[in-house]
Structure formats: C-alpha cells, structure tokens
Structure 1
Amino acid sequence: MLTHHTTFADVDYDITNFNVDAHINKNGSLTITRSIDYDFDSDAHGVYYRQNLAKNQKLINQKVSVSTNNGKTIPIKAGNGQNNTYQLTHTDDGYRFKVFHNISEDDEVKVTYTYTITNAVINWRDTAELNFKIIGNGWDTDLDHAKVSVIFNQGKKVSHLKAWAHGDLGGHIEVNRSKGQVVLTDNNVSGDVGIELHAIFPASVTPLNKNIRNEKHKQAVISQEIKLAKEANEKRKQQQLFKTILAYASLIIAVLSSGFFLSKLILAKPFGIKPRKTSELPHNYEIPDVDPVTAQILDDGDYPDERAFTAYLTQLAGKHRLKIEKAKGRKNYRITLLDPTVKQESPFLKEIFDQAGNGESFTTKKLKKIDLEDEFDDWQKDQYHKVQDKDLISRKYKDEIEKTSTQMKVSTFFIFVTFIISLFFATQMPIIPIIIAILGGFNFIFYFIYKRRTSIYTQEGASEVEKVRGFKKMLNDIGNFKMKDVGELIFWEDVMPYAVAFGLSKQVLKELKAEFGEKALQTYFTANTYYWYYGDFNHFEKSFSSSLSKSIGDSSSYSGSSGGFSGGSSGGFGGGSGGGAF
C-alpha cells in the first residue's frame, strides 16, 4: 500500500548504508533491527521513519538509538519533541517514528530502530509465507548500499526454504538453507522502488503462529514467482542485448572515427617551415622589421588579441599621433586624435572614435558600454590576412592544419563519447573501453607527430618568426644585462609597443626606471609622453585592454534460491514505507 509522504526540501543528505537484520519468531512475528547511515550536507532537526503495515499487524517493543560521527551510541527515549527523543504515531496505514536529534552540516549520523511486527507470517495448510516490503519505496533519496539478512528457525537448517526478491534488477539474493538465512544485497537502491522479500518455508518454523489460512497456497506462490522471474529474466536479456549492441556500436564508431583520422595523419606529407625553438635562439637586440601587431601574429601563429591593438595605440601615442591622458573617474582615460589620417588608416579605430566618442576623442569608460565585437573581428581578420598577403604565413598550410585540427576534435569527441558509453559495460566487456582508450592514445600520438612535421610558415615567415622570438626572448630576460649597452632611451621608446604586444611591458618599464632613473626619463621625454608611458602606463594598458574586452565580448576569439532480483511486486505488506529528514 502506498501513502503520501512529505519531502523536507531544505534538508540535504545521502543515505550511505541501510542494514536490516530480521528474525522470524515462532509466533509468526518478525523482530527487526534497522540501521540507517545518513551523511548530511546541511543542518537538520532530526529524521523520521515510516513503517506501513497491514490492518491486522502491530508494531511493538520499539527502541531507538543514535550515534553521530562514529561516536557513542545514545539511547533515544519517547518524548514530546525535545532533543534526543522520539515520537511514535499510529495511523490506518501504519506507524511513524519521528526522531529529534540536532544535526549539523557534514555530520554522519547512524539511526537504529528495533521493533517487532506481529502477524508478519501467514501459516497456510501447506507452507508458511513471509511477503514483506522489507525496504520500503517511500524514501526521499536513493540508498547507496543496502543489505538485508533474515534468519529463519533461529539460524538452524530449513530444508525447504525458498525466497525471492523484487526491486531493481541489479540486486542479489542468497538463500542459505543450511543456516536458515536469506541475504539480500543491492547498491544504489531507488528510493521509490525499495526491496521486497517473498519467502515460503515449512509451517513448523512458526508453530505458535495464530495468523492461519485454512487453504493451500504453496503452488500459487511458486507459480507467481516463476512468472515474475521469467519477466525479469526476459527484461535482463533485453537489457543485455541492448548493452551488447550499444557496446559494439560504440567500438565500431570509435574504430571508424579513429581509423579515418589516423590514415590521414599517417599518409600526410610534411609541409611548411618549422622555426627553431625559442630555447635554441640567441637574443635579438634589433627591433623586428615588422610592426608589433604582426610580431604578435607571427609569434602566436594566430589572430591578434586585445594586447596587440593596445600595442598599436601605444605606437601611435609614441609617434604623437594620439594623446593619452587621465580622465575623470577611477581607471578612466581619454584618448584624443592628434593626426586625423589615423582614422583613414584604421577603420576599427575610426569606429571607436565615432561610437565611443565625438569623432575626435573617447574615454575607456565609454568604450566599455558599446558593442564592437563585429568590428574587432574584422580588424583581427584584416591584420592576419595582411600577414598572409606578405607570404609570411601560407594560406594553404593554415587551411590544411585547421582542417586537420577540426577532424582531430571530431574524432576525439567520438572517442570520448564512445569511451564513456563503454564504461557502463566494462564489467561484462572490459576489452572494449581498453581498445577505445588505445585508439584515443594513437590519435594524440600521431597528431603530435603531424604537428611536428607541419607548419603554417613559409621560408621567409619562419626566418621572421625567429627574429621576433629572439627579440621577445631578449625582453623576457631583461634585467640580466645592461639596457644602456643595448640602446639609449630613444631605442627603448620604440621597443615599448612590442613589449605591450608580448605582455612584457611591466617588467620592461621597471628595468627602464631602475637603470636610467626618473630624472633621465623626465629630461628626455615630453611631459605628456613621460606621464602616460612611465608614470601611469601600466594602469592605462590594463584599463584599455579591459574596456576593449568588454566592448568586444568574451566570445571574440578564434582559438527462490540464490540469484538476481525480480521486477514488479508480489504484493507484500510494507509498501510505501520510507523516511526522510526535517
């Protein structure tokens, strides 16, 4: 029988272990000890347990105890809601324990109920029967691990003991006739399914039972359970067939996906010129032949980012074509146009001046509030295509590598998905996830080899990349040599935009101040140039890059006996039993 139960949604907990020890008594009653282990993720006032029974049954001789975090077991007395007391109420459907015990988040609590159910067994003319939903289907959560032990005839031999279990098909029942014991085990028991035990045994085991039916019933029970067992086994066969088909389908998909990709990698011929590794390059003390934006593109082999555009602004300011000054507000700067031809050279910069300002100046604060994602995308593509037009990066090589990279991602996706699917069948077919994992490993190994054999750079491009990376290496190692030996301040003024593009401006500025000194910097540079370059440059760079990032959006990047359980139900009492926390 089912009954409505309240879910206390404010309490978050798991039931990690659910153990039931039951003994069949000679008078047909059933003495039960239930131990329930809770793992709480929130505070709670206590727990409750509901034992549903048939009309002619009673719950007697009840006891409750609690232990917290493996501490001392506390006997719980009947009470009226005080801490460490319980209330037992009786309705037409059965009985309800409400255990008051203060619980804190992360507590592990074990609650043990001991009681006897009268008239649990029916003595028929040809057999005795126990048909009991021994773990009810009225739980607020699933049960991680469940174990049920039922003792017949005080643990002595019961020759004609037969037992069946109903619940999730993954459970197991063990019938030990020599010890008069039935053991049921299952993991991840669905809270709305539970476990039902149906057992028949000689009526001599319960000679004092007064719950008697004067008719034969043994064959009816066996026939019912045979039918349920056949249905369960047929369902298992269907599930197994589905699993087998899915497992081999996963393997076939993985083999085809990986095979196609691997064949392409193996047959691919080397192309492009691979620049030397940075560790193999000497320091380059000469400013690259290319501008800072192109330098970043060559270094990364990808589209330029916000730092590259900030470097472009830095270069324009250094040439006095723009003016950068502190504006009203924290981390707010104003960029003013000094050379009108700049807008003709850069459509993207023109859009910034027109949309974020009055056509002649704008602030970083206003820049944050406008949408320039499409315009920035166009600028990125335009700058990258200029590098390709100079034949430093080959369009053909770039397209081929991107195509292969996409195929790698698709193949890896299929490998990953099929591997996850195969894990569900790992116990029955462990070889399948192993094969798929090996295929995935081959994918990465051969793709790594492919990347080492191919390059997007032309001969001229690879040569320029080495110059750029040697220059970047020099900036990165700044402080290990005398900056004055490399060049005077006029040289380092031209270096700064490259430092911005490479993300090294902070350490370059620090070394400039340390080696040349504040006074020399102020003497050499004009007031405006000194202010924005050396007095407040780091703040401006962060402010502008941050404002531009918000303007273009984060997405602007191109990179019976022993056996299994039966399903259904044999109609045992106790349906709807369960519990929760409050």
Structure 2
Amino acid sequence: EKNNKKHVKVYLWADKAHTQKIHDQKVKVTYSYDMKNVVTIFNDVGSLQYKIWGSEWDCEVKKITANIHLPGDKNNIYYLNPEYYNLSDSINGNTIHVETTSIPKGEFYELQVLMPLDDFSNATYAKHVNSDAKEQIMQKQSDYKGGVSFWGNIFNILSALCFISPLSLIFVYLKYGREPKVDYHGIYERELPSDDPPAVVNAILNRSSIGEPNMKGFEAAIMDLIDRKVFKIHIEEAEHTDDLVLEFDDSKYEELSITDKKAYDLLKTFSDGNMLNVSRLSSKLNNEYNGKLFKEKLDDWKESVKNQHIGQISEYFNDTGTSISYGYTFGGLAIAVILFIISLFSKHPASWTLTIASIFLGVIALAISFIPEDIFGKWTPEGRVYYLKWMNFKKFLTDNSLIKEHPPESIVVWNKYLVYGTALGVADKVYESMKLHEPRVADDDYYYGDLYMFHSYSGLIMLESAFNNGISAANPSSDGGGFGDIGGGSGGGGGGAF
C-alpha cells in the first residue's frame, strides 16, 4: 500500500514451482476484491461513481465489457463518461451492461449511477454525506455532456471548413484570374515584340513574381552589356584550364542607363581592377561578407529595373486575385499550425479529424504559394498581348523548323536572339540553333564574337553558379466530503501491461 492506494503485481508462471514463465499466449486473469466507501449516501439519493478504466494505465485497452449489478431494479439512472467510448450500453433489471471501444493510454472511462435510498437499508460500508445532491449531480452530468458535444461540434465544423476552404480559390480564380479576351491571334513572333531591355522582359514575364526580374534577367543584362561592347571577353591560360575573363570598358560607363550602371557596378565590386575572372567568381562569392554584399547590390538592381523601366506593373497585370491567394497561403498556414497544436492537446475523438484537416489545410496553403501569379491574378488587355507576343517569340526561338524557315539575316539579329533567349530562359536552345544554321560557330578556331565566346565557354553557367553561391553565402544556416467531478470516481486503477 502506498499513498492510500493498493499496488498489486501479478507474476505469470507456467508451473507451480515458478520456474517457467509464460510466453506468447493468452492468459485469463481474474481480480476479486471488496471496496469500502465506493457508494455515497446523500439525503436524497445513493451514488456510485466508479472508474471502470483508470487514467493511470500506461497502455491502451482494446475493449472493455462490464456488468454492474445494482441493489435494486427500479428508478436507477446511470451515466457513462466520456460517452464517445461507448460501443453499447443497456440496463436490464438491476444489471447495467457496458461495452466500449478502445480507450487510449492515459484516458479514463467512468460510470456514475444514481439509486433510490430505499435500496440501501443497511449501508455500513457506504460513505454518508448530510446534504442533497441528486439535482446537482444531474446538472453536472448534463453540463459535462453538453461540453463534450459542444467541442465535438466545434472540431467538426473547423475540420469541415479546412476541407472546403480550397473551394474559395475557385471563386477567386473565376472572379480575378480569368484572362481578358484580346484581339491577337499570332502563332509565333520572328521579331522582338518590343524594344524593352531584356531584364524588363524577364521581369514582366516572371510568373512567379510578376514585375521583378529573376537571376535569368540579371544574366541577360550582362549578356546585353557584352553585346554592346561594354564588357569585352578574354581567355586567359591557367595552370589546368583556361579562365574566362570580363574586361570593363569604363569609357562607355556614362552612356549606360541607371539600371545598367548598377549591373556594371555590381560586377566591378568583385573584379581586380578592370578585369573580372568569371571562372573564379564563384569562390570569391562563397563567403558571408561577399555574399551579403552581392545580394544587397542585386536587390538594388532589381528595384532599379522595377522603378526605372517598368513603373506601375498594374498597367500590365491585375494582382488582386494573387494578393488574395497570398492571404490564403499565410492565413492558411497560421490557422493550420494553431489547429494542429490544439488537436494534439485535445483528448476529444473529433480532434483526430481536426489533426488531419489542419495538415490538409497546411499542405494546400503551402502548395498555393508555388502556383504562378497569373493563375489567380490576370493580365490587363495590354499586358495580355505583351505576354502572348513574347511567349510566341520564345516559341520561335525554341523551334528549329521555324528558324530554318525564317533564318536571321545577320549576326546582329542572332546576338539579339541570344540575349533575349537568356532573359526567356532558352539561351541554350538559341545557341544550338545558331550552330545548326551557322556552322562556323561550332568551329573552335573561328572567332564569331564575344557573346558567343562567352556562351561557348559556359559563361552563363559559371555566372549562375557564382550568383547562387552568393545568395547561399548571404543566408548561412544558424547553427472528499461531497460528490466528485466527472472522472473523480473510485477504482479504475492503472499500471503496466504484461
């Protein structure tokens, strides 16, 4: 006995000498015991409050079948809590029969019976309390049942809202995402659809963040500066390989736009004098200080593209639906986390459904963040034509049969194709087409211009690797005397499983 509790340890042996333990078989164990003060006699009712299964067990129980025999067979009122563990229950004469579903570890299952005082003529072993309690007990049971039902309904409603909330995005798409009809039916575009700088084209067509250039846009800006002879290309012999070097022509600096100057200045920050070794740029950006400096200047360049060239993106794109989808993403993730935490700490069975629903909501909200902005947003009529023309130009650049049918007339045009192909993410396709239609480009001994030399020496790949290193380096990882409450009954017990 410890802390007024009886502790019983059962040893299972196969023989009377206790030399062979029982293994891997079902064993029926019967406990028989008498308990005092389990029934409480009030002035108006007798009450049995007993835990059929206690919360101190450190294992679940798959099923409980219980028969409770009462002293009388009339006017008995019984309650089973929590009722969501009930599989079946009935009263026949003076016997209550109960069957349960599985009860998890740490949970209780309790019976309370209200019996007429006439059933207790000699209640020597009962607990006597000089007060009325029947109405209070019945009210407490009613309140408890109402609370269980209330939270069950709340959890079910929240779960339903989580599951049906993605349907709201259909409404957002129908209202804000359907593209306007425009009077343009082109199949492909052979000429540049506009005279915008390549970084601007990249920014406007950047469906993941419309109006902001991505890394391909910055690479296209560098290619454009090479094409315009602002940067010159040199190949320097190194110990094991040849290095690709950019030479800065400062005499052309003042002719550049503000945006081009920022791109120029960014690269010059990491140069040695007027020379930038592109082959070794990646290692130079591979530290936190240089990485942060690179990212700061790159962000400054992006802002310049937006402010100096694009202006009001609303002229091209209506982002109302996109903003709503962002709200769904951030709100959905926040709500999903809150509901998930609530469901983990709740013991109500409906909380399991809420757990699944919160995970579902979180996954959907996260997935929405990867959808292109023009799914829930839409282009203005002007922006739609702009988008379609440039997409058709991209189609032309990637279709060898179309280029063969309408080949560029000069290297100047091919240069533009390569620059804008970089902005559109298809520079390699343009270069392959160039080699097919201008065989001299494939000849290593033939000098066809800085732009193609830069590409053939994997200049774009080295730039992209260096820039990605810079971005990564900029973001390093951190390192009693009355009746009891529900669940306050006697019995139930607890302990370990066999």
TM-score, normalising length: structure 2? 0.62
1:182-581 alignment, distance < 5 Å:
182-185=97-100, 189=104, 191-197=105-111, 215=124, 217=126, 228-237=137-146, 280-288=185-193, 289-300=195-206, 301-322=210-231, 323=233, 335-341=245-251, 345=256, 346-360=260-274, 361=276, 363-369=281-287, 370-371=291-292, 372-389=294-311, 395=314, 401-402=318-319, 405-407=322-324, 409-410=326-327, 455-456=379-380, 458=382, 463-476=385-398, 478-481=399-402, 483=404, 485-487=406-408, 490=411, 491-517=413-439, 520-522=442-444, 524-526=446-448, 530-537=452-459, 539-540=461-462, 542-550=464-472, 567-572=486-491, 574-575=492-493, 577-579=494-496
Q: Structure 2 vs 1, CA of residues 281 and 552 (structure 1 numbering), >3 Å: closer, same or farther? A: farther
Structure 1 residue 116, shift from structure 2 partner = 1.5
In structure 2, the residue matched to 1:54 is 6
Q: What is the letter of the counterpart of residue 139 of structure 2?
A: K
Shift of 1:472: 0.8
Q: What amino acid maps onto 1:366 in structure 2?
A: K
- Deviation per residue, 1:312-337 (Å, 9 max, x gap): 11222344432376897999976533
Secondary structure, counterpart of 1:480 in structure 2: helix
In structure 2, distance between residues paired with 1:295 and 1:351: 22
Q: Which moved more, 1:489-498 or 1:158-167?
A: 158-167
Distance 1:415 1:501, change over 3 A: closer
CA distance, structure 2, for counterparts of residue 551 and residue 349 of structure 1: 20
8 Å contact from structure 2 (residues 54, 107) kept in 1: yes
Q: CA RMSD in A?
A: 5.9
Q: Is the 8 A contact 1:499 1:505 kept in 2?
A: yes
Which range moved further: 374-383 or 126-135?
126-135
1:532 partner letter: F
User: Would you say how many aligned residue pairs link Structure 1 and Structure 2?
Assistant: 426
| Distance change in 2, residues 1:78/1:325 (3 Å) | farther
User: CA contact under 8 A between 2:421 and 2:427: conserved in structure 1?
Assistant: yes
Correspondences of 1:56-135 after superposition (within 5 Å)? 62=12, 114-120=28-34, 133-135=51-53
Q: Is the 8 A contact 1:333 1:540 kept in 2?
A: no
Q: 1:305 Cα deviation (Å)?
A: 0.5
Residues 329 and 185 (structure 1 numbering): CA distance in 2 closer, same or farther, change over 3 Å?
farther
Amino acid at match of 2:188: H
Cα deviation 1:116-147 (Å, max 9, x = unaligned): 21315679999999976443323557x5x853
How far apart are residue 517 of structure 1 and its match? Answer: 4.0
Alignment-mate amino acid for residue 455 of structure 1? W
CA distance in 2, matches of 1:193, 1:246: 19
Q: Which amino acid aligns with 1:54?
A: K
The question of whether the paired residues in 1 share the 8 Å contact of 2:66 and 2:97 is answered with yes
1:138 to 35, 38, 56: 56
Partners of 1:530 and 1:494 in 2: how far apart?
A: 12
Identity among equivalent pairs (%): 15
Q: Is 2:39–2:47's contact at 8 Å kept on the other side of the alignment?
A: no
Q: Which runs of 5+ in 1 are unaligned?
A: 4-51, 65-76, 87-98, 102-110, 202-212, 253-257, 428-432, 438-443, 445-449, 555-564
Q: Match of 2:354? A: none
User: Which of the pair is proportionally richer in helix?
Assistant: 2
Q: Secondary structure at the match of 2:124?
A: coil
Pairwise CA distance, 1:303? 1.0
* Alpha-carbon distance between aligned partners in 1 of 2:440 and 2:487, rounded to the nearest angstrom: 86
Q: Once the 2 structures are TM-superposed, how far is the Cα of residue 519 of structure 1 from its aligned partner? A: 6.5
Note the C-alpha offset of 1:383: 1.1
> Does the 8 A contact of 1:273 with 1:456 survive in 2?
yes
Do the aligned partners of residues 508 and 115 (structure 1) sit closer, same or farther apart at CA in structure 2, a change above 3 Å counting? same
- CA offset at residue 567 of structure 1? 1.7
> Aligned AA for 2:271?
G
C-alpha deviation, 1:274, in angstroms: 6.1
Decide whether the 8 Å contact of 1:167 with 1:195 is kept in 2: yes
Q: CA deviation at 1:411?
A: 6.9
Q: Tell me: CA distance 1:119–1:131, structure 2 relative to 1, closer, same or farther (3 Å).
A: farther
Structure 1 SS opposite 2:496: strand
Q: Hey, what's the Cα distance between the residues in 2 that align with 1:329 and 1:135?
A: 80
**CA distances 1:438-496 after superposition (whole Å, capped 9, x unpaired):** xxxxxx9xxxxx989963464xx6554443222111123x2334547412671323311
Distance 1:188 1:216 in 2: 31
1-structure distance, mates of 2:380, 2:13 = 77
Counterpart amino acid of 1:539?
Answer: I
C-alpha distance in 2 between matches for 1:124 and 1:250? 41
Q: Which residue identity is paired with 2:33? A: N
Aligned residues of 2:263 and 2:301 also touching (Cα < 8 A): no
| Structure 1 match to 2:90 | 175
Contact 2:244 2:457 survives alignment (8 Å)? no
Q: How far apart in 2 are the matches of 1:125 and 1:140?
A: 27
Residues of 1 paired with 2:57 and 2:240: CA distance?
57
Residues 1:454 and 1:309: Cα distance change in structure 2 (over 3 Å): closer
Deviations 1:233-253 (A, max 9, x none): 22443565678899999999x
Task: Measure, in 2, the Cα distance between the counterparts of 1:234 and 1:164.
Answer: 15
SS for the counterpart of 1:150 is strand
Q: Residues of 1 paired with 2:98 and 2:178: CA distance? A: 68
SS in 2 for 1:337: strand
For structure 2, the 5+ residue unaligned runs are 116-121, 162-166, 351-356, 362-367, 369-373, 477-483
